[in-house]
Structure 1
Amino acid sequence: MLSPSTARVAPALVCSGHHSTASGGPVRIGNRIVACLGAALLAGAGAVALPTTAQAANLLDDPGFESGGLSDWNCSDGAGSVVSSPVHSGTKALAGAASASSNARCAQTVAVQPGTTYTLSAWVRGSYVYLGATGGTATWTASAADYTELTTSFTTGAGQTSAEVYVHGWYGQGTYHADDISLDGPGGQPDTEAPGTPGTPRVTGTSATSVSLAWDAATDNVGVTGYDVFRDGTLATTVTGTTATVTGLAPDTGYDFTVRARDRAGNTSPFTAAVHATTDPDGGGSPGFVQAAPYLYLGWGNPPSPTEVMSATGIEWYTMAFILARNGCNPAWDSQRPLTGGQDEAAVNAIRAAGGDVVPSIGGWSGNKLGPNCSTAQALAGAYQKVIDAYDLTAIDVDIENTDEFENPAVQDRILNALKIVKQNNPGLRTILTFPTLNTGPNSWGDRLIERAHALQADIDNFTIMPFNFGGHSDMYGHTVNATEGLKAKLTSVFGWTDAEAYAHIGISGMNNNSDVGEVTTPQIWTQIRDWANSHDIGRLAFWSVNRDRPNWEFTRITAGFTG
């Protein structure tokens, strides 16, 4: 594999009358990288007076990402996110998930003064991290195991009133981090001109719980950075493009939507005319997506007859484990057994013949998973589609754990985008994310997963946490409730849902009897958890696993009493 110093490199740039490669670093010109880090004038520079000296004053908004979001930054390919660790200072930093097809470029445009010298600096961490100004100079580091400061300077051209600064990684080099980015110098005239009104808002699709919208782009003297979508006068979501899907809606209900544009200075346009949409009826005839589905694993532990368990307990759904990758981006049971023609398909057919159904669990803690093996969201969606088609599924669950998926920003985003694609291609399909939790709610990776699900408009139906393996905590009922309440708080904060809407999008997946670290959940505790889940109308209840629920299927029988 070519290294970043040799891959995708254009001919050398003529700098100050020379071909210059001595500085060893690249500058972006259009979509190509060339070797040249000498000082350069930005566009518009010519025979001008000597530049003025910049006075130290950071012109960037949210330079340390302490807001927890990226509204002030424009990150390509959805590859940027805000993380809580590692940071240089404060509590937040930027993570850019550079992949084979994206360098995870994040940029911000600011007002500047003509003919003025500015100093740009940032603390970065990772392999081949770049800092620069578009049309000007750049600097980089080949490898920074810990935060390292990069500094460069540039001079604006005559008549130049804005400048774009950026940070990015390199193709295939993995996630980089950046923090405390600073652009020192005098600011330009403040932008007080509002964008124009977006054009022609329209409804492009509906489901029982969502409405998809589109509109024509607005114009602005500097540039539109986002659009606010309002539902019945309340902000529902903010997007950077000209489409949005508003989720968490009630079935068979009418809503009015308006859109306004926003520029980097915070100026907002007038609202569009309202467009009306009515969500679809809930075809299932139920109050929402409710699923009691304990795990059944045919690859381990003397698996029981699923129909005998159904007859003995009244359970109707199973979460069937595990779909993994085989020979690249191809789905198979345990990476070994084919989707059809074996014991797994026979079990699914028997369950359905007995009046039940299944949701396959894709992923898990260990094994060769599809998320890292499928190189793009489109390829991963294709793998998911093979599973959907094999069993004509109405729901799929992605169990996202461990460092290869859960703690990997690029794979997190790939999974979310893939689920968005299959949701769009399979009307009525329910999508579930299952992931670990702290006893107080999601950890930083869980927070990121939820935030990116919202930002990417993935339209996830259920966020299921696994409240166990906390490290020896004895009060499994109390800690399960606290973890679920923490998830509810995060969902209401990110999606703007009511408490009831958030609970309806929540699932609990426990572990019967002993957890991996010795925590004990008795049938009595599981009954308490089930009753609490029913009283709060959450959407899903599962446990690991029916294989371990012997000899009397007590936990399965308790789970069958979950009504949501």
Structure 2
Amino acid sequence: MDPTKRSRRWLGGALALAVGAGLTLVGITGTAQAADVNVAKNAGFESGLSNWTCSSGTGANTATPVRTGASALKATPAGMDNAKCTQTVAVQPNSTYSLEAWVQGSYVYLGASGTGTTDVSTWSPGAGTWNRLSTTFRTGPSTTSVTVYTHGWYGQSAYYVDDVSVFGPDGGGGQDPDPVVPPPPTGLAAGTATSSTIALNWGASSGATGYNVYRDGAKILSVGGASATVTNLAANTAYQFQVTATNSAGESAKSAAVTARTLPGGTDPRPPVPKHALTGYWQNFNNGATVQKLRDVQAQYDIIAVAFADATTTPGRLTFNLSSALGYANVDEFKSDVAAKKAAGKSVVLSVGGELGNVTINSDASATAFADSAWALMQEYGFSGVDIDLEHGINALYLTKALRQLSAKAGPGMVLTMAPQTLDMQSTGTQYFQLALNVKDILTVVNTQYYNSGAMLGCDGKVYSQGTVDFLTGLACIQLEGGLDPSQVGLGVPASTRGAGSGYISPSIVNNALDCLARGTGCGTFKPARTYPTLRGAMTWSTNWDATAGNAWSNAVGPHVHGLP
């Protein structure tokens, strides 16, 4: 065991090393007893949020910033939720415990409740670096469990927690075992190759928090999930790859090697997404809008999102059922329409979610099921990629894993789009925003739904009403300044007054917002501090509602998008 990975406690006035790392509960009964242990589990958040519960999905595992180890807790207050994260630990009655944490952010609280005596808490007013919080509590005569917690404050940004400490007499729950070096990964396989890249994927290694990729014996890449795309390779060249698994205990032996060859030059399956693109959702159902076959989708649309994939009884696994209401003679006719659109330079992606749809991806197994089934549907129907439109909450950690596994199978030609609701992109601490940042290197565009939300905060802290230039520009600014590339930001709006419950914006206002962001002209009261000439474009729900309104939206916004600088 590496003694630098251990926590510390005072024993008889002298500093002694104690087993454990991360979150530590320190027990003191006069002079600390030899039986004192760290009674918290997953104390350093090295195993995601295992053993922890965060209110309303406000917590997430993060790789940066961390104080020690490979990960920490990131929790983001939202609305009237202060992002409280808790763990119930086993304690002994009539014992004293000392609670400690390292925190970063504004107004971070640390405390313990259900002690049986006096509950305690402490807080930090805020700092941009790690600072220590500590307090002690004593358990009552019949107390066998205590809830320890952290939380932020309303209206504040995300806070971070690492190496939260608590030692004391073992209450019967034991302590986290010291980590052991994980076994070598198995099942390493090469996926899609281009003239300069090769996609790799492998089976997850038990206990691993990361992986190293080796090319011809030399380490070239470190990743968090069980897939990677190796770039900057020479055309028509064979390479040998191996991977290792890592955690705080060390690095495994190398996996079995796999050899893969890049394609000759000029054969890359590049996505046909133009610099400025128009995205439209095509309805695989009849809800009163104009019924279209895919071939009927207006020519202005560069990305066509087929709405929607269907969930199965297996968590994460997708299927697709073509609606009989669209007039297709068979599935092969639909596949021919997909191929024809792609031949015309369009991208056809399969959208996952929607208002009524939900796919659960909250474990390694469900992440793999998603990737495997999405890749199978891409191959069967010819889809160019996927669109993430999950409107009932997401787990950014596991959805990131799912999308990276899918990318490893599909290669760099995959088109990845997202359509979060407005609230989902109000800050970088939300699960959706974190997901977008996690997959930024493989992300095509995020078309936030700027409708059905009511008034919202812009990046300048002011409230803007739906249906205005300020609403679009002030909210898009949050993403543009929050870490996404301008080429990954699009404005999502309804195609007609019937396309959404609220928030319809006339095409002229959409065009003004595009000009404001890309050129600095046509702005309302809010004017961004800089322009974003590479802004991707705009999206609408839906091509069917657009057709119902005589194609007024695509005829006006499409040429404007394509004419951006």
Q: Please name the residue that 1:560 is paired with.
A: 558
Structure 1 distance, partners of 2:83, 2:111, is 14
Q: CA deviation at 1:120?
A: 6.0
**Pairing partner for 1:479 from 458, 471, 474:** 471
* 2:336 matches 1:349: yes
**1:292 match: secondary structure:** strand
Counterpart-to-counterpart distance in 1, 2:347 and 2:194: 22
- The whole-number CA distance in structure 2 between the counterparts of 1:338 and 1:376 is 31
| Aligned counterparts of 1:421 and 1:368: Cα–Cα separation in 2 | 22
Q: Deviations over 1:314-358 (max 9, x none)?
A: 445422211112565451237x66999756753553465463645
Aligned length: 389
Distance in 1 of aligned mates of 2:292 and 2:340: 13
- Distance change >3 Å, CA 207–CA 482, structure 1 → 2: farther
2:433 to 443, 447, 454: 447
Residue pairs, 1:459-538, within 5 angstroms = 459-472=442-455, 473-492=465-484, 502-514=485-497, 516-531=500-515, 532=517, 536-538=533-535
Task: Say if 1:443 and 1:401 are closer, same or farther in 2 by CA, change over 3 A.
Answer: farther
Match of 1:332 in 2: 320
Q: Tell me the distance in 2 between the aligned counterparts of 1:251 and 1:391.
A: 31
Please state how far the C-alpha of 1:552 moved relative to its aligned partner.
2.1
AA partner of residue 336 (structure 2): N
Q: Deviations over 1:179-238 (max 9, x none)?
A: 9942359xxxxxxxxxxxxxxxxxx99869988899xxxxxxxxx988999xxxxxx997
Tell me if the contact between 1:82 and 1:448 (Cα under 8 Å) persists in the aligned partners.
Answer: no
CA–CA distance in 2 between the matches of 1:483 and 1:73?
35
Question: 1:544 Cα shift?
Answer: 0.4
Shift of 1:74: 5.2
1:303 aligns with 2:287: no
2:372 to 361, 378, 382: 382
Task: Check the 8 A contact 2:490/2:538 in 1, yes or no.
Answer: yes
Matching residue of 2:124: none
Q: Secondary structure at the match of 2:355?
A: coil
Change (3 A) 1:119 1:376: same
- Cα pair distance change 1:341/1:423, threshold 3 Å: farther
Instruction: Provide the residue aligned with 1:546 in structure 2.
Output: 543
- Residues 509 and 542, structure 1, Cα contact 8 Å, conserved in 2: yes
**1:429–1:226 distance in 2 versus 1, CA, 3 Å:** closer
2:540 counterpart SS class: strand
What SS does the aligned partner of 1:417 have?
Answer: helix
Aligned partners of 1:88 and 1:308: how far apart in 2? 46
- Label 1:244 to 1:392 Cα distance change in 2 as closer, same or farther (>3 A): closer
Contiguous gaps of at least 5 residues in structure 1: 1-38, 41-48, 97-116, 126-147, 152-176, 186-203, 215-223, 230-235, 253-261, 266-277, 493-501
Q: Which residue matches 2:184? A: none
CA contact (8 A) 1:88 1:179 kept: no
Map 1:143-542 onto structure 2 (within 5 A). 149-150=146-147, 181-183=164-166, 239=223, 284=270, 291-299=277-285, 300-305=287-292, 314-315=300-301, 317-326=303-312, 328=314, 329-333=317-321, 346-347=333-334, 349-350=336-337, 352-353=339-340, 355=344, 357-371=346-360, 376-402=366-392, 407-409=393-395, 412-427=396-411, 428-438=413-423, 440=426, 444-453=430-439, 459-472=442-455, 473-492=465-484, 502-514=485-497, 516-531=500-515, 532=517, 536-539=533-536, 541-542=538-539
Q: Residue 325 of structure 1 contacts residue 373 of structure 1 at CA under 8 Å; is this kept in 2?
A: no
* C-alpha distance in structure 1 between counterparts of 2:454 and 2:487, whole Å: 28
- Matched residues in 2 for 1:293 and 1:508: separation? 10
Q: Deviations for 1:494-541, whole angstroms, at most 9, x for unmatched residues?
A: xxxxxxxx1122233222333745323012112224444686323353
For the residue of structure 1 that corresponds to 2:491, the secondary structure is strand
- What CA distance in whole angstroms lies between the structure 1 residues aligned with 2:476 and 2:537? 12
Q: Paired residue for 2:138?
A: none
What is the alpha-carbon distance in structure 2 between the residues aligned to residue 490 and residue 285 of structure 1?
25
Superposition deviation, residue 297 in structure 1: 0.9
Amino acid at match of 1:467: Y
Give the distance between the partners of 2:87 and 2:221, measured in 1 at CA. 23
Provide the C-alpha distance between the structure 1 equivalents of 2:197 and 2:269, rounded to a whole number of angstroms. Answer: 14
- Normalising by the residue count of structure 2, what TM-score does the alignment of the two structures yield? 0.50
* Contact 1:331 1:339 (C-alpha < 8 Å) held by counterparts: no
Aligned equivalents of 1:408, 1:285: Cα separation in 2: 26
Root-mean-square deviation (CA), in Å? 6.2
**Gaps (5+ residues) in structure 2?**
1-25, 47-51, 89-95, 101-109, 114-144, 149-159, 169-189, 202-207, 214-219, 236-245, 250-261, 456-464, 520-531
TM-score by length of 1: 0.50
Given that 2:281 and 2:306 are in contact with CA atoms closer than 8 Å, whether structure 1 keeps it comes out as yes
Secondary structure at the aligned position of 2:370 is classed as helix
8 Å contact kept, 2:275–2:534: no
